[in-house]
Amino acid sequence: MNGLDTNVLVRYLVQDDIEQGRLAAEYIKQVKASGETCFINNIVLCELVWVLKSSYKLSRSEIIDVLEKILRTDAFDFENRETAWLSVQDMKKGKADFSDYFIVKLNKQASCTETATFDTKLQEFEGIRLLST
């Protein structure tokens, strides 16, 4: 297994820099051809969403499409593929960001009984303790 940094994954997906996009695609293709996978950890996945939203101005639905596609791709392995997938599905139904849903699900996996937040977009989500002033 070979780890990917966010910038390599972004160049592979967006292809806005011809040379870096080509190098990223070649690397991923070579890894897959060798029978290995490229590992995407939780931080890279959250950074990817942030970069696609803030730098590339992708819409929520476009980001959901990107996430679903890469989560289905056998060239990639993930630190928490199933949890990421479930977080994308929550994102489709709710208003919070991917990372918010991902945090709540990861906390639950870590046996947290609740996740405390000030984010009102999560107030109806199971396992949330909304703190108010």
Rounded Cα gap, residues 74 and 76, in angstroms: 5
Torsion of CA 24, 64, 72, 112, to 10 degrees: 110
Per residue in 22-35, pLDDT tens?
A: 999 999 999 999 99
pLDDT, tens digit (0-9, with 9 covering 90-100), for 67-88: 999 999 999 999 999 999 999 9
Provide φ and ψ at 76, rounded to 5°.
-115, 145
CA distance 57 to 63: 10
Residue 73, H or E segment: none
Q: In this structure, which amino acid lies at residue 1?
A: M
Instruction: Return the domain boundaries, the chain.
Output: 2-79, 95-133
| pTM summary value | 0.92
Between CA 3 and CA 8 the distance in angstroms is 10
State the average pLDDT for the chain: 96
Q: How far apart are CA 109 and CA 2, in angstroms?
A: 25
